[in-house]
Structure 1
Amino acid sequence: MEPHAYAAFDAVGLRELIRTREVSAAEVEDAARRAVEQVNADLNALTGPLFDPAPAHEPDGPLAGVPFVIKDSGPFTQGVPFTLGSRSIRGAYALVDHDLMARFRTAGLVALGQSTAPEFGLNFATESVRYGVTRNPWDLERGVGGSSGGSAALVAAGAVPFAHANDAGGSIRVPASCCGLVGLKPSRGRTPSGPLAGEAAFGQLVEFGLTRTVRDAAHLLDAVSAPTVGEKYQLAPVARPYADEVRTDPGRLRVAVTTVPWSGVPVDRQITEATVAVGQVLEWIGHIVTEASPDVDADEVVEAVMLSAVSTGGAVLRGAPRRPDPSALEGVSRRVLAEAESFTALDVLAAMEAQHLVTRPIGRFFLDHDLLVTPTLAQLPAPHGALDYDDARHSVRSWLRRIFEHGPFTALFNVSGHPAISLPLGQSREGLPIGVQLIAAHGREDLLLRAAAQLEQAVPWGERQPGVYVD
């Protein structure tokens, strides 16, 4: 199988080829390895060489033989080193599989390598001192977003149909928007966070992935979303597979649209226009569309997200094989570790109260609306260096405000725990992808996937390809 033929299929399509024995799993893996190495020369999206051999996986799982990459976001795959994108972490290995990786293995997914992420995952740009700049296949002078940027670059360039990603403030949806992908952040409790983390980022971090198609997101969610015994946050099993939801009419939905961020930062006009156009498409389909948004305080959002930032620093201090050398850290990371150590129980309680002050009005909002539509980002993909994580002048709060100037719409739903998805429904005059975000009530990934599939059919994006693509 040649790489260009391989890249034409999504994960479900590749699995069907393998199931019907049109190609073998070994042929798919070989094509994928060649594809990854080909595009990575331009993108710099891997932390090192490809795994050889790939970690063990079930040969008969529902996605057996489908290649993917894992994100360098901590201990995830047994025996595989991780760095969190930092020069300060060396010699650290995962001793056990993350529960999500165990489910990836059971599904039969084949891990080929590890993708880049910014230091500690605390940036909307994937640019670290350790690994350098990961470049956007749509424009090599622009960033891929963050923090799951290496994963996004490889999926967008056709090298893998799916990549592991996680999201504590937008780290799935932001790179999805920058790279023209489907980025689903499931509800809090839908995917596992153990066994090493009991409550990842105080419930704000969700594990999942990035895809090119809505049906892949649905099939992947089916493969990994069963409840986990003993987890603090978990949801009841769904009535039927998510793969069935993408073929189901959502009915007539009450859709709210807003292009105004809660922080009041400016939004690029092309992004505003793309979001309004999605509202018009939904109205044309037959949904009831109004202009509305939840009433939340932007300062409370920042305070709540502080829980995620300082818990990241705390996890590094607890989990690294040795205390990080401050001189080997980037500027903001030094502040993260310092503030994590100085954060008191009263600070934690205040931030948790801010979380509740954000979550309650959003919950009430979805009593009167089925979907909320917003931009994913306020700006087009940023030029390299625009979000400088090594700037030592920042405190943690000032850094969060800086990245939320670029992406003010995503973190709100990590705080509240609602499911959200970024879809590549727009394109700028420069030919750059524009993501539009859909949010549903807690636990309603079914509704989100129905609406996403409807939009994928009405405004198809599958024929668009970036300048850097397999072959």
Structure 2
Amino acid sequence: MKISEYTAYDATGLTELVAKREVTPTELARCAAEAIAARNPKVNAVVELYADRIEKLDETTLGNGPFRGVPFLIKDIGGHLDGRRIEFGSRLCAGLTTTDGDTHVGRLFKAAGLNIIGRSNAPEYSMSGTTENALYGNTSTPWREGYSAGGSTGGGAAAVAAGMVPMAHGSDIAGSIRIPAALCGGVGLKPSRGRVSIGPKIDEGGWGLAANFAQTKSIRDTAALLDCMAVPQPGDPFVIPKPAESYASLIRQEPPKLKIGWSTKPLNDRPVDPEIAAAVERTAKLLASLGHEVEEDHPDYDGEDAAQRMLDVWFFDFPKRIDSYAAQTGRKPGPGTLEPVTLAIYEYAKTISTPQFLTAHGALNTMRRKLGPYFQRHDLWLSPTTAAVAEPWGRYNLGRTDLSPQAYMAHIFRQIQFCFPHNVMGTPAISLPVAMHSSGLPIGVQLGARPAEEHLLLQVAAVLERECGWGEKVVPMAVRAV
């Protein structure tokens, strides 16, 4: 198979070729490695390849799920694969290896048939809305070299957009799947809280704010993978409802008539780029023309307060975590092992008291209660994904020395202001590449739904995919442009 052929398919298309024996999983792995070799030097999305999953692949080790043999990347976070390096994009953790078994996420990816061929780049401890780090360097959006791929799953999103792999692992605590999907022109679904098991090492990632899933380039891939990952595991603290039919079958059905609220009103003090706001409004008009009841409506949410509360929740136990890594690697937390913002947050987090954490956690609960009525009025919430398209490296990275922890958190939340509400609520949300900016960079539009109603998101997303034809866009730095 030629690379130009390989990159033309989504994951479902590649699996169909494997099933028909027109190509083997080993051939696909070789294509992925060749594509990575061609574009990674400029994009810098992949930080490690697993030789035993490419040239030395034992195809009998692949799961028999719907993506058997599809090349896949795991994000450099979470330690999902036993015996593999996991460095969290940090010099403190360089060379660290997972030794306590696969997580449920890792096992489910494997059971889906995915061939995990390597690791994707991420910012240090996935703490940023851009993928720039001192350990492996910066990841570019494949649309423009030197511009952010977003974060924290920028490596995975850039790899998918550049044609290296058709899908890649992602995680999301404040928009980290959806932000890079928007900036790289891909599809990024954050599932509902409890939809994909976070165990067995922890019960609730980020005190319930975090979720695992993937970066994809088609809705059919997203739906079929969700069927594979939405499998409750023993000991999970929550098991949430699923539709009677599979997500893969539901996206082939037209959605019911829905009530859709849309908003581009800023949730903090950063205005939304006018072209992004216009793309949201055009999407609202398109959905109205398709028979949905659509109205402009703004949620009750204070984005400035959310940023500060998140600081005291996310990083409450951060020093314990960092000190544990230091004990494992024999290195000390400091300027030579942690980036400036990370080190400042590490020191700040030592001062977060239990009452301070509980107060902040309670404030997020209050925010959730205020946001909830929006989904009494509407089935879906349509908004921008980010306030701006991709920006040059340096604006959001953890190497800055001019921002306090509080100022840094407020700074990145201005860009991701529409993402975090869905982490607060635990609601599913998806970023879709429905438009292009006059600068030549992609625009992401976000849809959110009530908890456990991913099927409605995916049905509407399938319609927008059909109407907007985002798969036809040519990415300047993609492999097929070689």
Partner of 1:3: 3
Q: Does residue 103 of structure 1 match 2:108?
A: yes
- Map residues 24-103 of structure 1 onto 2, 5 A cutoff: 24-48=24-48, 50-54=49-53, 57-95=61-99, 96-103=101-108
Q: Would you say 1:284 and 2:284 are equivalent positions? A: no
Q: Percent identity?
A: 37
| 1:304 shift after superposition | 3.7
**Structure 1 residue 188 corresponds to structure 2 residue 187:** no
1:75 positional shift: 1.1
Structure 2 unaligned runs (5+)?
Answer: none
Counterpart check, 1:438 vs 2:447: yes
CA distance, structure 2, for counterparts of residue 139 and residue 419 of structure 1: 29
Q: What is the one-letter code of the residue matched to 1:125?
A: T
8 A Cα contact 1:305 1:411, kept in partner: no
Equivalent residue letter for 2:371: I
Give the equivalent residue in structure 2 for 1:235. Answer: 240
Q: Using structure 2 for the length normalisation, give the TM-score.
A: 0.94
Match of 1:102, as an amino acid? R
113, 116, 123: which one aligns with 2:118: 113
Q: Deviations over 1:55-110 (max 9, x none)?
A: 87434222110111011013121111111111111332112112101001111100
> Which of these residues, 370, 373, 382, is aligned with residue 364 of structure 1?
373
What letter corresponds to residue 461 of structure 1 in structure 2? Answer: W
Aligned partners of 1:359, 1:211: CA distance in 2, in Å? Answer: 28
Distance 1:311 1:465 in 2: 44
CA distance in 2, matches of 1:156, 1:312: 32
Contact conserved, 2:149 with 2:155, CA < 8 A, in 1?
yes
* 1:244 partner amino acid: S
Answer whether contact 1:359 1:415 (CA < 8 A) is retained: yes
Describe how 1:324-335 pairs up with structure 2 within 5 A: 324-327=332-335, 328-335=337-344
Contact 1:122/1:309 (8 A) holds in 2:
no
Aligned to 2:165: 160
Read off the aligned partner of 2:36 and give its amino acid letter. Answer: V
1:151 matches 2:156 = yes
Instruction: Give the AA of the match of 1:429.
Output: S
- CA shift, 1:392, in A, is 3.1
Aligned to 1:416: 425
Q: Structure 1, residues 193-246: CA drift from partner, whole Å, max 9, x if none? A: 112222210011100010000111101111111112212233134322110121
2:457 pairs with 1:448:
yes
- List gaps (5 residues or longer) in structure 1: none
CA distance in 2, matches of 1:154, 1:184: 16
Q: How much has 1:179 moved relative to structure 2? A: 0.3
Whether the 8 Å CA contact 2:76–2:120 is kept in 1: the answer is: yes
1:257 to 227, 249, 262: 262
- For the 8 Å contact 1:300–1:355, the answer to whether it is kept is no
TM-score (norm: length of structure 1): 0.96
The answer on 1:23 being equivalent to 2:23 is yes
Alpha-carbon distance change, 314 to 273 in structure 1, aligned in 2, over 3 angstroms: farther
Is 1:293 aligned with 2:301?
Answer: no
Q: 1:456 to 1:357 in 2, by over 3 A?
A: same
Residue 172 of structure 1 corresponds to 177
Q: Which stretch shifts more, 244-253 or 164-173?
A: 244-253
Distance across 1 between alignment mates of 2:233 and 2:348: 32
* C-alpha contact (below 8 Å) 1:314/1:341 kept by paired residues: no
User: What per-residue deviation string (whole Å, max 9, x for no partner) do you get for residues 328-357 of structure 1?
Assistant: 211111122123322211011111111111
State the distance in 2 between where 1:441 and 1:287 align. Answer: 17
Once residues 412 and 271 of structure 1 are traced to their aligned partners in structure 2, the CA distance between those partners, rounded to angstroms, is: 19
Could you tell me which residue of structure 2 aligns to residue 269 of structure 1? 274
Question: Does the CA contact (< 8 Å) of 2:308 and 2:410 recur in 1?
Answer: no
Instruction: State the SS of the aligned residue for 2:47.
Output: coil
Structure 1 position 211 matched with structure 2 position 216: yes
The correspondence for 1:386, drawn from 382, 388, 395, is 395
Tell whether the 8 Å contact from 2:89 to 2:125 is kept in structure 1 after alignment: yes
Structure-2 residue corresponding to 1:466? 475
**Paired position in structure 1 for 2:323:** 317
Partner amino acid for 1:52? A
Cα distance in 2 for residues equivalent to 1:124 and 1:298: 16
Residue 323 of structure 1 deviates from its aligned partner by 6.1
Q: 1:222 aligns with which of 219, 227, 250?
A: 227
Q: Which residue identity lines up with residue 322 of structure 2 in the other structure?
A: V
* Deviation string, structure 1 residues 269-293 (Cα, Å, up to 9, x no partner): 1111111111111111111110112
AA partner of residue 325 (structure 1): P
Task: Judge which range, 447-456 or 38-47, deviates more.
Answer: 38-47
Aligned in 2, Cα 1:232/1:314: closer, same or farther, shift over 3 Å? farther
Q: Structure 1 residues 176 and 314, CA, compared in 2 at 3 Å: closer, same or farther?
A: farther
Is contact 1:310-1:339 (8 Å) kept? no
Whether the 8 Å CA contact 1:254–1:287 is kept in 2: the answer is yes
The C-alpha deviation readout for 1:116-151, integer Å capped at 9, x for no partner, is 111111111111111111112101131100110111
CA RMSD of aligned residues (A): 1.6
Counterpart amino acid of 2:314?
S
CA shift in 2, pair 1:110/1:420, >3 Å: same
Matched, 1:395 2:408: no
Question: Structure 1 residues 15 and 363, CA, compared in 2 at 3 Å: closer, same or farther?
Answer: same
For residue 196 of structure 2, give the secondary structure of its aligned residue in structure 1: coil
Q: Secondary structure at the match of 2:471?
A: coil
Deviations 1:291-315 (A, max 9, x none): 1122122244224422124445543
Query: 1:143 and 1:233 mapped to 2: Cα distance?
Result: 35
Q: Which amino acid aligns with 2:79?
A: P
**Secondary structure at the counterpart of residue 310 of structure 2:** helix
